Amino acid sequence: MEPVNKPFRTGPLTVNTIMLLVIAALVPGTVIHIYLTGWGGLANLLVAAAAAMLFEYIVCVLRNKPVRETMGDHSALLTGLLIGLCLPPLVNLWIPIIAAAIAILLAKHIYGGLGNNIFNPAMVGYAAVLVSFPRDLSLWPTLPQSFDFGIIQTINIIANGGLVEYTHWDSLTGATTLDTARTSTGTAGQHITIGLERWTNIAFLCGGAVLLRLRLINWHIPVSLLATLSLCALIEQAINPNAAGLSVHLLAGATMLGAFFIATDPVSAAAGNTGRLIYGAGIGLLIWLIRTFGGYPDAVAFAVLLMNCTVPVLDYLEPWRWRK
Amino acid sequence: MNTRATKSIRSYQARVDRALRPATPITTRELPPTLQYRIAPGSRHNIVVNTDEHVHTGQTLVAAIADGPASIHAGSSGTITCKQTDSEGHTTIEIATDGYDSRRFKQAIGDKFRSMSSVQLQQLFHHNGLVGLGGACFPVAGKIAALESKPASVLLVNAVECDPAILCDRALLLEQASAAIRGIGIAAHACNAQKVIIAIKNDEPAIHTAVQNALEKNPVENSSICKVAADYPVGYERYLFASASEIPVPENTHPTALGLISFNVATCIAIAQLIDRGEPLFSRVTTVHKPTTGAIQNLHIRFGTPLNHLVQGSDTTLQSVAYSGLITENLPSRRTATISPASNCVILNPEATTQNDCIRCGLCADVCPASLQPQQLLTHSEPLDAKQLARHQLDRCIECGCCDTVCPSGIPLTRTFQQAMQAIHQQTLQIQAAERAKQRFAARQNRLERQSAESQAKLARKQAALTQRTKQSTPSADPRKQLLESALRRRSKKPKTDNTPPPP
Ligand code: SF4
Ligand code: SF4
């Protein structure tokens, strides 16, 4: 007769339910994303998610972990989906696979698996392919691309190297809102309109609100992130009226996805409330800095990864003592 | 306590409550073949029985020690075997029960208790094994003595069983409310309480009625019933004082220092049984859960009953046991293989769930009634980092188990903290011991130095006296000295050989 060393209670939530709820909250944004990006976007999601789960399975077997329980937490699925949501449609088939491999193998399991990773796995995978294949990843077809290409054609394109290989279709691609914002800064009189991606962002915002309502994420990170980003954008606009305005920063690119689904990944975010506020503010500031002065059109991945580095310090300083 | 915590735990509690709410009557089990009492090592025990001695139910096995543990009494008549120390230095007293359960109690006191003083009653309680039955097992007499014979301003009767799985106090109140009220009256007399508050949960009308009826029949002076919100961990003494008597007890202050004292209902019933029947404390009501069969029982069991005995009869064997309710958990030191006064609830063969790594979701921090950061405490508990743990105020953890309950990764946080606290306590003890040893060494060194200095001074004084005396007396006065001096002179005149060292 042994005293139990394992927990015997089942709390109201398990990791598995949390992940499933987060995935469910992603659904509306994802649907709009697919509507905008067509078969190409759907292919990204499917390939990335399948690859992530496959790699997770392989690692489970290699690490002698119970496959059903480890896979059952659905975190690999979520990582794959986040990668898929970041990639432009019609990229080379291998890009999502490589991103998923880096995310699951390097960013997650090398550190010891879910709970021990320092960096957000999805963002590590995305950032790795972003710096490795800059041309592929900067080619966004004009949205909505919807389902202009049929399934067969899409498969053909992605299996043969993606849109980059089809230079004669250059006319199809267009500058994303953030691209326009970046290149247009300083050109007087040019008005930047936000593309249809605003609907994706709004959908992610709604999904995030649901997560907040269910108390699956804390308000600190998204609120401080969005507040800092807005503040920076407003100051910038006050100085230079032609700069990308508040709405561009908030509703273009991956802002909302980042604020509610990526920055709030609890494993790689700060744990205390003060730490969370600083962490969110740091990401907001970095997004604005990289978008405004950096060489990449979108900045969420790098901002999140950079702030991930600060988490050990933020946690170490917890509990914060403002006054001695 | 923050509201989110309350909500989260409350919804969980409601779920569990619905499943467990059906009233569970108190049943008695037949006596086990042996009862075992494990006596902790140390000189603070005074075992008064010998091997092969025959004892009656209720006879003293281990005598009480003033300001120390209360006495321990035989749970059944039978033959004693004392097993000497095991690996941890415990002594086990075993009673082979004879099946007669022949009782020989001291004479009941009855209403004469009113003429007894508080000190006399404390003596009586202490020598009849009365300890708190709420889970902490603190001797009742010790608790009253901590009031330092000042009258208690409030006697709080804790009838708030906030853990959803622990049902024994509830059953006791429903079935033995009058005994409880009787005990409350005696306890109030023993601590000269100016005010008696009986705290019950606000969602249990049946208990309220039972207590009220009993109070009407047998009124206790200055008593009132207070209904408190049934949010876990309201039964925690400090919180209960705050919510029921509206007297906040600051941390680091023991309630008794403020003239506040609290007893569990089961303890009050034990007091009543002692006064009215002369029965010492050797049994309790324990809630026993058997998740494998889904059975929940409130069993009236003798202390020392091996837990194995509780699964006998069913086709399972006892493989594992959780010493806890669904949220609370007993201290590691109270996880014994037998029923002890602390066993308010045991879960036999619980279904273990898997444990994953912490995903730092922060749910535990949201429910912590002490506003701690359990996930940070966890990080610093393994490996143990006492400095960081102190920074994160581990000492404020009340071991309530709320954090475990919500943890999606199924991490036994509370247990980890209990172990960390124990380890830190050990470390402090070691440091203190080292410090004491150092001081002892320094004192010894000092003493030796002082002694040698003294003896040297003494010597110097003697020598000085001697020289004085020599100076006073003439050299020729002492013939022996003259002889010696002449011999020395002769010797120095001798020619030196080569190998003799030169004079210094
Ligand atoms: S609830 Fe569990 S998983 Fe979540 S932060 Fe606390 S310890 Fe970690
Ligand atoms: S056991 Fe300690 S850390 Fe956990 S919730 Fe209770 S007080 Fe907080």
Host domain of residue B398: 364-454
Q: Which of B292, B317, B351, B354 to mutate to test the interface with A (most CBs of A within 10 A)?
A: B354
Question: Phi and psi for A149 in degrees, rounded to 5?
Answer: -90, 140
**H helices present in B191-305, as ranges:** 205-217, 237-240, 265-277
Cis peptide before A319 (omega within 30 of 0): yes
Report the C-alpha gap between B196 and B339 in whole angstroms: 31
Is B413 part of a structural domain of the chain? yes
CA A238 to chain centre: 29
Question: Number of folded domains in chain B?
Answer: 2
* Partner residue opposite A7 with nearest CB, options B291, B308, B352: B352
A49-98 pLDDT, tens digit each: 999 999 999 998 988 888 877 787 889 999 999 999 999 888 889 999 99
Residues B215 and B130 in one domain: yes
CA distance B359 to chain A (A): 4
Grouping H, G, I as helix, E, B as strand and the rest as coil, residue B68 is coil
Q: Which of B255, B287, B319 is the last residue of a domain?
A: B287
CA B220 to chain centre: 30
Contacts of A7 in chain B (CB under 8 A): 352-353, 355, 404, 407, 410-412
For chain B, positions 309-368, list CB contacts with chain A under 8 A.
Answer: 318-323, 326-327, 335, 337, 347, 350-363, 365-366
Residues B115 and B237 in one domain: yes
Residue B401 beta carbon below 6 angstroms from any ligand 2 atom = yes
Q: What is the sign of the dihedral through the CA atoms of B372, B373, B377 and B378?
A: positive
Burial A52-64 (b: 16+ CB within 10 A, else e): bbbbbeebbeeee
DSSP string, A83-94: HHHHSPTTB-TH
Residues B136 and B48 in one domain: yes
- Sequence-ordered list of residues with C-beta below 8 angstroms from that of A115, at least 6 positions apart, any chain: A267, B356, B357, B358, B359, B360, B409
Q: What is the pLDDT along chain B (504 residues), one digit of tens a residue?
A: 444 455 666 666 665 555 555 567 888 888 888 898 888 776 567 888 888 889 999 999 988 888 888 899 999 999 998 887 667 777 888 899 988 888 888 888 888 888 988 889 999 999 999 998 887 788 999 888 888 777 888 898 988 877 777 888 888 988 999 999 999 999 999 988 888 999 988 877 888 899 999 999 888 888 888 888 777 777 777 778 887 877 777 777 788 888 888 999 999 999 999 999 999 999 999 988 887 777 788 899 999 898 888 876 655 677 777 776 667 766 666 667 788 888 888 888 777 667 888 888 888 888 888 888 898 899 888 888 888 888 888 888 888 888 887 888 888 888 889 889 888 988 889 999 999 999 999 999 999 999 999 999 999 999 998 888 877 665 556 677 778 888 888 877 766 555 555 555
A199-223 pLDDT, tens digit each: 899 999 999 999 998 888 889 999 9
Residues B492/B495/B500/B501 CA torsion (nearest 10 deg): 60
Strand partners, B156: B197, B262
Domain boundaries, chain A: 1-175, 177-324
Report the C-alpha gap between A60 and A57 in whole angstroms: 5
The CATH number assigned to the domain holding B210 equals: 3.40.50.11540
Is B359 part of a structural domain of the chain? no
Q: What is the DSSP letter of A133?
A: S
Instruction: Tell me if A132 sits within 8 A of A138, measured CB to CB.
Output: no
A259-311 pLDDT, tens digit each: 999 999 999 999 888 899 999 999 999 999 998 888 776 789 999 999 999 99
Q: Which of B237, B253, B287 is the last residue of a domain?
A: B287
Instruction: Tell me if B64 sits within 8 A of B123, measured CB to CB.
Output: no
Question: What does the pLDDT read at residue A7?
Answer: 52
Is B352 part of a structural domain of the chain? no
Instruction: Tell me if A215 sits within 8 A of A272, measured CB to CB.
Output: no
Opening angle at CA A246, ends A238 and A186, nearest 5: 55
Residues B58 and B192 in one domain: yes
Instruction: Tell me if A269 sits within 8 A of A279, measured CB to CB.
Output: yes
Among protein residues, the one with the nearest Cα to ligand 1's atom 4 is B361
Residues B274 and B417 in one domain: no
Opening angle at CA B213, ends B210 and B215, nearest 5: 105
CA distances from B165 to B10, B266, B298, B352, B436 (A): 14, 16, 11, 16, 46
ipTM of the complex: 0.83
Is B470 part of a structural domain of the chain? no
Is B169 part of a structural domain of the chain? yes
Ligand 1: nearest atom to the Cα of B360: 5
CA distance A274 to chain B (A): 12
Residues B47 and B141 in one domain: yes
Structural tokens at position B472: 């006073």
- The kind and range of the H/E element at B73 are strand B72-73
Instruction: Tell me if A205 sits within 8 A of A258, measured CB to CB.
Output: no
Instruction: Tell me if B125 sits within 8 A of B274, measured CB to CB.
Output: yes
Contacts of B355 in chain A (CB under 8 A): 6-7
Report the C-alpha gap between A120 and A308 in whole angstroms: 7
